[in-house]
Structure 1
Amino acid sequence: MSLSNHYCALLKHCHEAKKVHCHIIKAFLNPETFLLNNLISAYAKFGSITYARRVFDQMPQPNLYSWNTLLSCYSKLARLSEMERVFDAMPTRDVVSWNSLISGYAGCGFLVQSVKAYNLMLNDGSFNLNRIALSTMLILASNQGSVRLGRQIHGHVVKFGFHSYVFVGSPLVDMYSKTGFILYARQAFDEVPEKNVVMFNTLIAGLMRCGRIEDSRKLFYDMQGKDSISWTAMIAGFTQNGLDREAIDLFRDMRLENMEMDQYTFGSVLTACGGIVALREGKQAHAYIIRTDYQDNIYVGSALVDMYCKCKSIKSAETVFRKMTRKNVVSWTAMLVGYGQNGYSEEAVKIFCDMQKYGIGPDDFTLGSVISSCANLASLEEGAQFHGRALVSGLISFVTVSNALVTLYGKCGSIENSHRLFGEMSFVDEVSWTALVSGYAQFGNANETIRLFESMLAHGFKPDKVTFIGVLSACSRAGLVEKGNQIFESMFKEHKIIPIHDHFTCMIDLFSRAGRLEEARNFINKMPFSPDAIGWASLLSSCRFYKNMEIGKWAAESLLKLEPHNTASYILLSSIYAAKGKWEEVAKLRKGMRDKGLRKEPGCSWIKYKKQVHVFSADDRSNPYSDQIYSELEKLNYKMVQEGYKPDMDSVLHDVEDSEKIKMLNHHSEKLAIAFGLIFIPPGLPIRIVKNLRVCGDCHNATKYISKITQREILVRDTARFHLFKDGTCSCGDFW
């Protein structure tokens, strides 16, 4: 081997080009051009473009290869201005020169410049088009989603006879697949006689993206020499198309074939496990991941957290999350969303704050999720702070964040702010409209709810199942039976939406609240399935209000069969018996509850003051300000009686003297919370109360009197809706 060849071999394998360069300077007075070209390539390979350029500038006679090598360096390093200057200065050019220029632009995603360079190459005419340029342009068209450019290049592929080449066929299939032209992709695939595994994988992924499950399945099972990418493409495709069970089964088969798996394989199967709440299979996948190198992979860790959260195994999700050595915004968001979806809204807010301490900035999905948790907590103060953060960070421009804020203000009873924010949004979608419609529905403003719903339709937006739940619930709370019935029928007749349990429950509630109990019974008997617990409880509650023993007993027995340990049937049926004075029947029901170990969920109300939540239960004296609270209640009771207030004895389910009943009513949890608010919340600000049960008739009546006497706005959110008490009236119109 000659000395020059010896140094060329060293440059290919040595990581220290400078040392070899020093030896070359000592060994040669005038190194050969091909040796210097190898030196330029070595410097370029390790990113030392300055030294590569210096060697080039000192060459006495650089040849075309020298120019192309330097040109290729500037492409690879995205130094486009230097690349252009080198290309313009070249004394001669060949196909490699043009390919380097086109690839340089394409690598940076510069569509216009790439097309311009490609067209200049075509117009040069000194040589024919080559497969590298065609492949580069097809990849660019695919990445940019430009089917127009892709079809032009496809024409050149056919014209110059490259349509049967696998090197061109693969990017052609990929381009058509990613742009949704799956038939053209299949045609391009079929035109290549000798296909490689990459072409199969590309077409499988494309077919899955377009929902062509059967075609993809057949191609996969007919394919010879499947690799791990083939299996992963199928698993991911099944997951993307909602075929989660098939994805899990295929993952099991992939393990039996001892195929190598990567983060995308694990991420897809974990998503499938979460999709169908397959906790057992999810744990099996987790056990397999532990035996691989992907246990500490941030992508896989995030997918594990998400899977456990969706399977309602929140403790396992926390364990995985804590053990993750590296976390990004996706990891934190997965845990945050998991808390919110499983009813741990306070923990969701807390983990958002922890995320900030670690310097992880939220994206729009993270911020939208934590705002949703504030909405579930009815925490207007914290939600408003996140609103400010959204404004400062610019994330308010994302529809996910704005929609969450519209929902927040609606759920916190600040419907004016909800509507104002909706009006300020530069872009709204179906979720935006549904959030506003649902906000007005929960607030009890049926007319505005229906007006917004009709406006939504007029603007060309399609309502979904959630939208109809909001509109139907608004109709039920306002007693608009005919209108609600009309909207219910339009749901499946005009909008082709199949009603689910929630819609039928709204209709049961619609008939029941209006006192049309016989119609409610007939409606239930015609339903395609039996009502859920909420439906039966709604009917039973109305039977209590209208004192209908017959239908009430039927509803209670049905509810007990469905949920034997649900105390609602016992409590509501007890109310019906108590209203009729049948105390022996009440005693039997209570004994039945005791025998089964059932206890009525205690009613409680809470109010937030200076970032602290004060919780009250009936006859509660645990609050440090109890003496002031009870003193305030005594004053209020005296003034209320003077205004004409009379306690509702039917709200007491005990056979005791009237004086004892009055005492029980006076110390209900929401009254204690209201008294606290009157003492500590400054005048001019509304008093906001949240209750875990439905407001009883006596408290509802009493709060109207309190609002009139004190001239304060009192907002109570119970399990059914918002009640805004003002000047002796309630926004629900006494219909709740």
Structure 2
Amino acid sequence: MPQRDIVSWNALVFGYVACGKMEIASSLFEAMPERDVVSWNSLISGYLHAGDCLKVIYLFMTMGRSGVVYNWRSFAFVLRACSILVDCDVGIQFHSIAIKMGLDRDVDIGSALVDMYAKCEKLDDSLLLFRKMSEKNRVAWSSVITGCAQNDEFFKGLELFKEMLKEGIEVSQSTYASLFRLCAGLSAFRFGSQLHAHALKNSFGSDVIIGTATLDMYAKCCDMPDARKLFNSLPNHDLQCYNAIIVGYARNSQGCEALQLFSLLRKSDLGFNEISLSGAFSGCAMIKGYSEGLQLHGLAIKSTLTSIICVANAIIDMYGKCRALTEACHVFDEMEGRDAVSWNAIIAAHEQNGNEEKPLSYFVSMLRARIEPDEFTYGSILKACASQQALNYGMEIHNRVLKSGMGLNWFVGSTLVDMYCKCEMMEEAEKIHDRMKEKNMVSWNAIISGFSGQKQSENAQRYFSQMLEMGVKPDNITYAIVLDTCANLATIGLGKQIHAQIIKQELQSDVYIARALIDMYSKCGNMQDSQMIFEKAPKQDLHDMECHDLWLCSAWLWS
């Protein structure tokens, strides 16, 4: 060109930026005789897309010193960089500059600020800014709803969505994705399925991003049939879509299905990442598939993904559940960096394999490494104390639990109840159980089983009655424990009531319940019903022989 102006220079810089060739774009930018706001914004946007957020901030500040006036795009880019870096302090400084220039009222800058504060975990500031915005477009609404999802403020996000619909704002792809995340966080299956219908009505049925978010919602709401149906219906699958279905199956204890989907992923040209691999290892752990786990471990080593903490954690968990403790320890020892999950995995592996002294030594090492224990750590350690009846250690850990503020956590509370029960400290177990604000099936079973094990059947039945009064539905373990107390007390009347409830809940085919019913009726002298249940009992491997021996022994004793 015999003559070049700023427009032609900008066009060339923008072209190289669009192609991702930042070195050439930067050298052309430096060669420009003059630069305007478009020149600077083009280069800044290129580095933002390249992921070099520090360079974005540096260029933004250099741009200001050069005398070029910022526009809304300049602020949108730099605030996005602050969001990615989760650097609120720098973001606040840029917010101040926008206020001084009178640009903070711009809807695009306002949306970028709402997004920045939310991603920096300053949701209150994000919501305050959003409420003060005189104009709110689709991007602003999407930013604030996404912020609620990212900060686990699920109800607040859904309330804002209702407001958004009342304002007549059209729902975007990113808003749908965030809403499905909100539903997943609340396990709001019904609302999630209605939202799915809403997305289909708005012609988003073939959208892979929305499809993946919907699939993840169904999986987290424990509805894997609908998740799989949706997966099969999508015209295209990306890696995130495969990851959602694999992890969903693993979380819902469907290990075989998780491995089948991972196999399908391997046959595609999408490759796999640490999330896919972690989900597959969890699938192996579910089915105790040691040989499958070994093959996956080889694949992980070959792909160099074993250096990623979440993958190494999943491998330790898999080996622990497959009773390969030596391999689990080897993986743990080779880890360069460890987080709380790593320590939890190795502690649980030892506890699950009956090595009850090691969890305590690992717990001490974890504290020395300045890793803060969480509820899963305390759960595994207290289980180990219960198994070896290490009451002194258990009481020390109980004190630490109280100091950490987890004393009322249902999971930790249940393991404390179980530990004190197995250490024959029923009074302490009762205190903890009664103080728990949230009681679930695990905690009820722990206290009922504890009294039953201590031959205090009356107390076990008393807690069973309390459980029913609070509207908690018993499971097969609860029924088996209480039937055992009926057998010990020869209270056939209560036993028959429980039997009727079992039939109503269609649990009579459960092996443990069948054995408990046979024992209860025989010990209460009702051999006819005992024999009838034995004849109808599920014949599963060794259990039918155990039931048969139990019935013959009872018949001989009570005849």
Partner in structure 2 of residue 479 of structure 1: 389
CA distance in structure 2 between the partners assigned to 1:362 and 1:148 by the alignment: 29
Q: 2:38 aligned with 1:135, yes or no?
A: no
Q: CA deviation at 1:655?
A: 5.1
Q: 1:523 aligns with which of 414, 428, 432?
A: 432
Q: How does 1:224-373 map to 2 (within 5 A)?
A: 224-358=134-268, 360-373=270-283
Q: 2:508 aligned with 1:603, yes or no?
A: no
CA distance in structure 1 between the partners assigned to 2:289 and 2:15 by the alignment: 53
CA distance in structure 1 between the partners assigned to 2:191 and 2:136 by the alignment: 24
What amino acid sits opposite 1:171 in the alignment? Answer: F
CA distance in structure 2 between the partners assigned to 1:534 and 1:357 by the alignment: 41
Partner in structure 1 of residue 352 of structure 2: 442
Q: 2:448 aligned with 1:540, yes or no?
A: yes
CA distance in structure 1 between the partners assigned to 2:162 and 2:191 by the alignment: 10
Partner in structure 2 of residue 575 of structure 1: 484
Partner in structure 1 of residue 417 of structure 2: 508
Q: 2:339 aligned with 1:423, yes or no?
A: no
Q: How does 1:703-722 map to 2 (within 5 A)?
A: none
CA contact (8 A) 1:142 1:176 kept: no
CA distance in structure 1 between the partners assigned to 2:187 and 2:430 by the alignment: 35
Q: 2:6 aligned with 1:64, yes or no?
A: no
Structure 1 208/323 Cα, relative in aligned 2: closer, same or farther at 3 Å? Answer: same
Partner in structure 1 of residue 320 of structure 2: 410
Q: Secondary structure at the match of 1:390?
A: helix
CA distance in structure 1 between the partners assigned to 2:414 and 2:539 by the alignment: 28
1:373-402 deviations in Å (ceiling 9; x for gaps): 221222223222322332333333332222
CA distance in structure 2 between the partners assigned to 1:601 and 1:423 by the alignment: 45
Q: Secondary structure at the match of 1:259?
A: coil
Partner in structure 1 of residue 459 of structure 2: 551
The share of aligned pairs that are identical, in percent, is 23
CA distance in structure 2 between the partners assigned to 1:508 and 1:475 by the alignment: 12
Structure 1 172/520 Cα, relative in aligned 2: closer, same or farther at 3 Å? Answer: closer
What amino acid sits opposite 2:163 in the alignment? Answer: D
1:679-730 deviations in Å (ceiling 9; x for gaps): xxxxxxxxxxxxxxxx99x99xxxxxxxxxxxxxxxxxxxxxxxxxxxxxxx
Q: CA deviation at 1:449?
A: 0.2
CA contact (8 A) 1:533 1:559 kept: no
Q: CA deviation at 1:286?
A: 1.5
CA contact (8 A) 2:433 2:447 kept: no
1:36-84 deviations in Å (ceiling 9; x for gaps): xxxxxxxxxxxxxxxxxxxxxxxxxx4133xxxxxxxxxxxxxxxxxxx
Q: 2:121 aligned with 1:182, yes or no?
A: no
Q: Secondary structure at the match of 1:261?
A: coil
Q: 1:193 aligns with which of 94, 102, 124?
A: 102
Q: 1:453 aligns with which of 346, 355, 363?
A: 363
CA distance in structure 2 between the partners assigned to 1:650 and 1:497 by the alignment: 39
Structure 1 333/204 Cα, relative in aligned 2: closer, same or farther at 3 Å? Answer: same
Q: Secondary structure at the match of 1:446?
A: coil
Partner in structure 2 of residue 399 of structure 1: 309
CA contact (8 A) 1:170 1:202 kept: yes
CA distance in structure 2 between the partners assigned to 1:64 and 1:529 by the alignment: 78
Structure 1 481/163 Cα, relative in aligned 2: closer, same or farther at 3 Å? Answer: farther
What amino acid sits opposite 1:415 in the alignment? Answer: L
Q: CA deviation at 1:553?
A: 3.3
Partner in structure 2 of residue 159 of structure 1: 65
CA contact (8 A) 1:574 1:653 kept: no
Q: 2:496 aligns with which of 591, 602, 617?
A: 591
1:502-534 deviations in Å (ceiling 9; x for gaps): 111111111111122233223334x24264332
Structure 1 669/521 Cα, relative in aligned 2: closer, same or farther at 3 Å? Answer: farther
CA distance in structure 2 between the partners assigned to 1:589 and 1:440 by the alignment: 40
Structure 1 214/147 Cα, relative in aligned 2: closer, same or farther at 3 Å? Answer: same
Structure 1 394/153 Cα, relative in aligned 2: closer, same or farther at 3 Å? Answer: closer
What amino acid sits opposite 1:515 in the alignment? Answer: E
Query: Which one is further off, 205-214 or 353-362?
Result: 353-362
Partner in structure 1 of residue 556 of structure 2: none
Query: Which one is further off, 502-511 or 95-104?
Result: 95-104
CA contact (8 A) 2:408 2:437 kept: no
Q: 2:469 aligns with which of 561, 570, 573?
A: 561
Which stretches in structure 2 are left out of the alignment for 5+ residues?
551-559
Q: CA deviation at 1:570?
A: 4.5
1:551-573 deviations in Å (ceiling 9; x for gaps): 33333333443435445445324
CA contact (8 A) 1:465 1:499 kept: no
Q: CA deviation at 1:171?
A: 3.1
Larger Rg: 1
1:351-388 deviations in Å (ceiling 9; x for gaps): 33344455553322112112112212222232223223
Q: How does 1:197-236 map to 2 (within 5 A)?
A: 197-236=107-146
CA distance in structure 2 between the partners assigned to 1:217 and 1:654 by the alignment: 65
CA distance in structure 1 between the partners assigned to 2:40 and 2:269 by the alignment: 45
Structure 1 185/655 Cα, relative in aligned 2: closer, same or farther at 3 Å? Answer: farther
Q: CA deviation at 1:109?
A: 5.8
Q: Secondary structure at the match of 1:519?
A: helix
Q: CA deviation at 1:246?
A: 2.4
Q: How does 1:5-24 map to 2 (within 5 A)?
A: none
Structure 1 669/387 Cα, relative in aligned 2: closer, same or farther at 3 Å? Answer: farther
CA distance in structure 2 between the partners assigned to 1:231 and 1:262 by the alignment: 10
Structure 1 398/154 Cα, relative in aligned 2: closer, same or farther at 3 Å? Answer: closer
What amino acid sits opposite 1:513 in the alignment? Answer: K
Q: Secondary structure at the match of 1:64?
A: coil
CA distance in structure 2 between the partners assigned to 1:237 and 1:229 by the alignment: 12
What amino acid sits opposite 1:538 in the alignment? Answer: A
CA contact (8 A) 2:510 2:538 kept: no
Partner in structure 2 of residue 672 of structure 1: 542
What amino acid sits opposite 1:162 in the alignment? Answer: V
Q: Which has the higher helix share?
A: 2
Q: How does 1:46-85 map to 2 (within 5 A)?
A: 62-65=1-4
CA distance in structure 1 between the partners assigned to 2:261 and 2:62 by the alignment: 55
CA contact (8 A) 1:406 1:419 kept: yes
Q: CA deviation at 1:186?
A: 0.9
CA contact (8 A) 1:348 1:373 kept: yes
Q: Secondary structure at the match of 2:330?
A: helix
CA distance in structure 2 between the partners assigned to 1:304 and 1:386 by the alignment: 28
CA distance in structure 2 between the partners assigned to 1:568 and 1:159 by the alignment: 71
CA contact (8 A) 1:174 1:185 kept: no
